[in-house]
């Protein structure tokens, strides 16, 4: 009877807040001697990795960091960033990984908005960080990672990262969070408003993301995983935490340069990797039919944009077993997978490629990934035709946006997280994106807010009105294409507009084409972007 | 800063109570047409299985069952019991699977203690249930499963199970629990006190057990799993729920008779199964070197007792890839695994068998499985010599014992669940049981409380004192061996004592040997069982 069940309370033996820190603790106990990290000549076991994470956590606390403080990190994929995925949450602080490709203004905005207390920077990015502090008008305490493989060796006079790692370990440092709902990471995304929004992850979600990915990707024990997807994107899709479950080896190359990546795959027997389609394409082009086919095939997850058929074809020939996954920063990364179906074996390669470009079906730790009519809130029929918006529910959906209650409320309408992606559902239940309701352009795996690019265009003295939409691109998936209405009696050509944007935006956000024309508007003056998208589709290069 | 994180609240989009019912919901959506159930000529898809579970849940509610009510089930491994693993929790009730090998008295005790509101019975066990109701002195509403493959067709006049399954589905029936801490199952175990104790599982634990097992057992999608381990033991180690994650096929044979099991493996391409060592031994003996080796090997988990070397050797030759796992009813089944290490490949088969008989290392969803000095509470050194007690902490540890606050308190001392198993830790972190601190005998995978057997012996008019200990047995692993002190001027021989026990106990609990002797006692009169265990070791058959 219910009252007898209610008498049975949680205690330390039967209730532990879910946290990926538990996976590290287990790995350091049972996989202590297995290699966790391979980077150039460096090898570190899980025992050493756990000991370093504990020391760094202790060191961070000694610097005065406390629960809920933000630690921002400007760093490529190297072992230190991997260690920080455990050490920062272990200290109680929140990990804020920064996209190293952003412009100084945007990073300055993020550091300010995130209330960053400490920046940990790889020495390659010290010049960038100096510019950031200039824009910010103040500096923030810095810890510097002196990777001997980094191209630069300037200093901001910050403490050496290895001093932290050498801190004497506080035995009490290796404890999980008080609550599984506690924040573990803060990841800024390009929103439709043009201002990055701070997506907050909790320990519970990070734990379930990691364990659910093992099930969805059918992971074996001890994989050799190549770290390509930047850890500043959704914490590398949660894979750093997943590796601790499996006692696997993580191989680092610092950059995704194709020669380094391919050499590392061959040198270390890589079995798994995750990468954006653009990276896969670069690998295929670098290999260019040469090199032995990988056998057994390397298991690859790709996300950020549907992989083009040519990329699927070439990487298959190389021995890559590629599965597309779909998700957003707000969902800790991938929450649906385009799982291969046996009956696809018989199809024509072109049709296979089309099927593989679907967003697919839910990961096991997600409660629901579905397509809803956003007027009625009802699910659309499984007819492959009726469009609705992808909506998501589950424990790997963010806590909300940091210091942005309005945006949080808006995105959590009616018990769902609304993605802004318009999609259909096929009769087999596979979801397929048809259009994007929000103004985001995805170029080489990076999200670009069209509103942010438009804001720069509007600042140009000759521009009266501007709109930016995605243009299909064989290499980058999409690139920004600008439509510009000039002011009367003002002049500007494509080169002038592009050069103006380049001076004010990261390279990947700069429009690759500019069209001068009167912009189509609704009766209320709203620019009809769908018409511009049609124009772009009809354009010849 | 912490206050900004605290402002981000749980909502329906980002927080869903963990429950294995979510896995069924997902399976019915994305694996709808895949076969979930194979039994004789019966095939049911995941879509049909989910629809039946919803109907049965609706039907149970229509019978008046409500949250926290106990539904007891007396049934072998057939599809109906599998469906009830979803349907009963979906209705809000708690699933109490009964060991069909128990004596009527014990089952009567359980039904009474569990506050059972409804018994669902397979018609084979209707004669047993009639005896149970006689001992109980009352009857309880009954639903009858009329499996055409069942040997008996008596009736207690209860409702037909198929009437429940034909209930019109309430759309609202397919919802998860209000809290993940809600009870999902109530499983009675033989305790040291001789009275079975009601172990309470919650939805959170069942969810994590299923997902963690996928990672630990490196499960692929769509396994073909043969249902051998009784679902009345720890809900079949949580495997019914796990199958929904993987969209797999569960094959049923109703009994573990070797000919049926081997025929089913060959007919349906079984890839995975779980079974006690005794079942593996029976399979090996039945096969007796005949039959083709299974290739690829069938992945097998075994638990309940360490598998004897001869069984490991024979099953390996058959093409079984056997891994021993360890756990207790209180831990939802297995929480440690004897994971094969590459360096064992080089060892002598006898040494391999010894290594495989270790209890091993923690499953990924368990916080800690360790060996503690039960005086000091400190972990023992990893020296393979220092003995302590296995202690467990994590989210797959029971809520507690139903209506038994004293036993609950006692077993949850100092933040650990204490197993009563004495063990050492090897230098590689593998745990190995050395002795049992509690008086439990494990025979053919079934736990026997020595205290319960002793209580029957004490009732015999000729018996003055009695003690029961485990005796090693090549077939059953262990069997009960009774030591009896007769009253002055009373007579009884071994056959008389065994026959008396058989009349009062299930067959598997009946002592297989009786030794007449004065019992060794401490100065305070406590029987020194360790001395009896030494005597048994020295005995010849």
Whether the CB-CB separation of A453 and A505 falls below 8 Å is answered with yes
Nearest to B126 by CA among B75, B164, B84: B75
Q: For A21-203, CATH number?
A: 3.40.50.12780
User: Do the Cβ atoms of A182 and B5 come within 8 Å?
Assistant: yes
Parts of chain B with a pLDDT under 70: 171-174, 191-194, 523-525, 540-541
CB-nearest to B7 from A214, A367, A405 is A405
Q: Is the peptide bond before A296 cis (omega within 30 degrees of 0)?
A: yes
Residue A494, SS3 per DSSP: helix
Q: How far is A450 from chain B (nearest CA, A)?
A: 27
Instruction: Find chain A residues with C-beta within 8 A of B5's C-beta.
Output: 68, 94, 182-183, 200, 399, 402
pLDDT score, position B96: 98
Helices (H), B271-339: 277-287, 309-318
* CB-closest option in A14, A67, A394 to B399: A14
Tokens describing residue B142: 């009954």
Residue B53's closest CA among B7, B88, B78?
B88
**Is there a contact between B94 and A200 if contact means CB atoms under 8 Å apart?**
no
For residue A391, give the chain B residue with the closest CA.
B13
**Segment B105-124, tens digit of pLDDT:** 999 999 999 999 999 999 99
Closest-CA residue of A relative to B416 is A13
Residue A169: Cβ within 10 Å count: 17
Q: State the SS3 of B70-96.
A: EEEEECCECHHHHHHHHHHHHHCCEEE
Which pLDDT tens digits describe chain A residue by residue (541 residues)?
Answer: 788 999 999 999 999 999 999 999 999 999 999 999 999 999 999 999 999 999 999 999 999 999 999 999 999 999 999 999 999 999 999 999 999 999 999 999 999 999 999 999 999 999 999 999 999 999 999 999 999 999 877 899 999 999 999 988 876 656 789 999 999 999 998 755 568 999 999 999 999 999 999 999 999 999 999 999 999 999 999 999 999 999 999 999 999 999 999 999 999 999 999 999 889 989 999 988 788 899 999 999 999 877 888 888 899 999 999 999 999 999 999 999 999 999 999 999 888 988 998 999 999 999 999 999 988 999 999 999 999 999 999 999 999 999 999 999 999 999 999 998 999 999 999 999 887 777 788 888 888 888 788 888 988 999 988 899 999 988 888 999 999 999 889 999 999 999 999 999 999 999 999 999 988 877 666 778 888 988 998 886 5
Nearest CA in chain B to A360: B30
Which of A8, A364, A400 has its CB closest to that of B8? A400
Residue B376, class by beta-carbon neighbours within 10 Å (0-12 exposed, 13-18 middle, 19+ buried)? exposed
CB contact under 8 A, B339 and A221: yes
A1, A5, A398 member nearest B14 (Cβ): A398
Model pLDDT, residue A477: 86
Q: Which of B14, B68, B415 sits opposite A11 (nearest CB)?
A: B415
Q: Distance (Å, rounded) from C-alpha A401 to C-alpha B298?
A: 48
Facing residues of A400 across strands?
A200
Terminus-to-terminus CA distance in chain B, angstroms? 72
Q: Which of A4, A12, A211 sits opposite B212 (nearest CB)?
A: A211
List chain A residues with CB under 8 Å of B341: none
* DSSP code for B412: S
Closest CA to A22 of B299, B365, B98: B365
Q: B246 to chain A: which residues are within 8 Å by CB?
A: 215
Separation between Cα atoms, residue B413 and residue A436, nearest integer Å: 56
Of the partner residues A8, A68, A393, the one whose CB lies closest to the CB of residue B408: A8
Residue B254 Ramachandran class (φ > 0 left, ψ -120 to 50 alpha, else beta): left
The Cα of A326 is separated from the nearest Cα of chain B by a number of Å equal to 16
Terminal Cα-to-Cα distance of chain A (whole angstroms): 72
Contact B367 A22 (CB under 8 A): yes
In A, which residues are within 8 Å of B361 by CB distance?
29-30
Q: Which of B16, B67, B215 sits opposite A395 (nearest CB)?
A: B16
What pLDDT is stored for residue A168 in this prediction?
84
Q: Where do the domains of chain B lie?
A: 21-274, 366-436, 440-538
Q: What is the pLDDT of residue B477?
A: 86
| Chain A residue nearest residue B182, CA to CA | A5
Top residue of B13, B358, B413 to mutate, by most chain A CBs within 10 Å, is: B13
Chain B environment of A394 (Cβ under 8 Å): 14, 16
Q: Are A5 and B30 a contacting pair at CB < 8 A?
A: no
Q: Under CATH, what is the fold of the domain B366-436?
A: Luciferase; domain 3 (2.30.38)
Of B212, B399, B415, the CB nearest to A12: B415
Name every chain A residue with its beta carbon within 8 A of the beta carbon of B25.
367-368
DSSP state of A294: P
User: B310-336 burial, b for 16+ CB within 10 Å, e for fewer?
Assistant: ebbebbbebbbebbbbbbbbbbbbbbb
Looking at CATH, the fold of the domain delimited by B21-274 is given as Rossmann fold (3.40.50)
Helix residue ranges, H only, B137-238: 161-165, 203-216, 234-237
In A15-141 the beta strands, taken as DSSP E runs, fall at 35-39, 42-45, 70-74, 94-97, 116-122
- Residues in chain A with CB shorter than 8 Å from the CB of B417 are 13-14
Tokens describing residue A196: 């990055």
Give the 3-state secondary structure of residue A130.
helix
**The tokens 């008996």 sit on which residue?**
B152
Q: Which of A7, A13, A210 to mutate to test the interface with B (most CBs of B within 10 A)?
A: A13
How far apart (Å, rounded) are the C-alpha atoms in residues A203 and B396? 18
pTM (2 decimals)? 0.91
- Residues in chain B with CB shorter than 8 Å from the CB of A393 are 12-14, 16
- Which of B18, B215, B246 comes nearest A214 by C-beta? B215
Could B364 and A415 be called an inter-chain contact, meaning their C-beta atoms sit closer than 8 Å?
no
Q: Under CATH, which number does the domain A440-538 receive? A: 3.30.300.30
Yes or no: say if A164 and A157 are a contact pair by the CB < 8 Å rule. no
Supply the pLDDT for residue A541. 59
Q: A67 to chain B: which residues are within 8 Å by CB?
A: 2
Using a CB-CB cut-off of 8 Å, the residues of chain B touching A18 are: 395
- The Cα of A12 is separated from the nearest Cα of chain B by a number of Å equal to 5
- At B122 the three-state DSSP class reads strand
Size of interface A-B (CB pairs under 8 A): 169
How far does B531 lie from chain A, in Å, by closest CA? 34
Q: How far does B163 lie from chain A, in Å, by closest CA?
A: 26
Closest CA to B208 of A170, A215, A357, A265: A215
Rounded to whole angstroms, the Cα distance separating A359 from A402 reads 28
Determine if residue A186 is left, alpha or beta; phi over 0 gives left, psi from -120 to 50 gives alpha, anything else beta.
Answer: beta
Q: Would you call A362 and B26 a contact, using CB atoms and an 8 Å cutoff?
A: yes
Give the closest residue to B208 by CA, choosing from B396, B399, B367.
B396
To the nearest whole Å, the CA of B326 is away from the closest chain A CA by 16
CB atoms near residue B235 (< 10 Å):
27
Residue B536 C-alpha, separation from nearest chain A C-alpha, in angstroms: 36
Task: Provide the β-strand partners of residue B391.
Answer: B370, B418
CA dihedral B411, B415, B417, B418 (to 10 degrees): -70
| Residue A45 to residue A66: CA distance in whole angstroms | 28
pLDDT of A311 reads 86
């Amino acid at each position: 009877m219910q009252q007898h069940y209610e008498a049975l309370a949680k205690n330390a033996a039967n209730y532990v807040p879910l946290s990926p820190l538990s996976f590290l603790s287990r790995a350091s106990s049972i996989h202590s001697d297995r290699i966790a990290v391979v980077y150039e000549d460096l090898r570190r076991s899980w025992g050493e990795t756990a000991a370093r994470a504990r020391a760094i956590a202790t060191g961070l606390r000694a610097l005065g960091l406390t629960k809920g403080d933000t630690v921002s990190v400007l760093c490529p994929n190297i072992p230190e960033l991997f260690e920080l995925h455990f050490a920062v949450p272990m200290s109680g602080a929140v990990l804020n990984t920064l996209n190293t490709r952003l412009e100084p203004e945007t990073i300055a905005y993020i550091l300010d908005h995130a209330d960053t207390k400490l920046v940990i920077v790889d020495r390659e990015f010290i010049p960038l960080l100096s510019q950031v502090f200039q824009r910010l008008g103040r500096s923030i305490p810095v810890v510097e990672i002196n990777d001997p493989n980094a191209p630069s060796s300037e200093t901001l006079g910050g403490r050496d990262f290895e001093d932290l790692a050498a801190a004497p370990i506080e035995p009490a440092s290796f404890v999980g969070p008080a609550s599984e709902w506690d924040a573990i990471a803060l990841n800024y995304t390009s929103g439709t408003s043009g201002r990055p929004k701070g997506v907050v992850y909790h320990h519970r979600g990070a734990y379930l993301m990691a364990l659910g990915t093992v099930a969805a990707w059918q992971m074996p024990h001890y994989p050799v995983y190549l770290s390509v997807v930047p850890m500043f994107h959704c914490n590398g899709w949660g894979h750093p935490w997943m590796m601790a479950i499996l006692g696997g080896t993580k191989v680092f190359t610092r950059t995704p340069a194709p020669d380094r990546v391919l050499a590392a795959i061959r040198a270390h027997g890589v079995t798994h990797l995750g990468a954006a389609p653009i990276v896969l394409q670069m690998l295929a082009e670098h290999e260019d039919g040469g090199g032995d086919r990988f056998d057994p095939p390397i298991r690859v997850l790709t996300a950020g944009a549907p992989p083009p058929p040519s990329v699927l074809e070439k990487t298959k020939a190389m021995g890559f077993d590629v599965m597309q996954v779909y998700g957003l920063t707000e969902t800790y990364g991938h929450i649906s997978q385009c799982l291969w179906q046996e009956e696809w074996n018989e199809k024509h390669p072109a049709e296979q490629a089309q099927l593989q470009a679907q967003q697919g079906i839910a990961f096991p730790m997600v409660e629901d990934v579905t397509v809803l009519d956003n007027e009625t809130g009802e699910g659309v029929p499984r007819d492959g035709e009726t469009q609705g918006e992808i909506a998501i529910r589950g424990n790997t959906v963010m806590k909300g946006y940091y210091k942005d209650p309005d945006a949080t409320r808006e995105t959590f309408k009616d018990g769902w997280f609304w993605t802004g992606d318009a999609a259909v559902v096929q009769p087999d239940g596979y979801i397929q994106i048809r259009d994007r309701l929000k103004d985001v352009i995805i170029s080489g795996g990076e999200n670009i807010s069209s509103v942010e690019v438009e804001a720069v265009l509007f600042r140009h003295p000759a521009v009266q009105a501007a709109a930016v939409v995605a243009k299909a691109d064989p290499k980058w998936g999409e690139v920004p294409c600008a439509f510009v209405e000039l002011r009367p009696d003002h002049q500007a050509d494509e080169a002038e507009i592009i050069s103006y944007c380049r001076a004010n935006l990261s390279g990947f956000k700069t429009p690759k084409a500019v069209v001068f024309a009167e912009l189509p508007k609704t009766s209320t003056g709203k620019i009809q972007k769908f018409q511009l998208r049609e124009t772009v589709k009809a354009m010849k290069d």
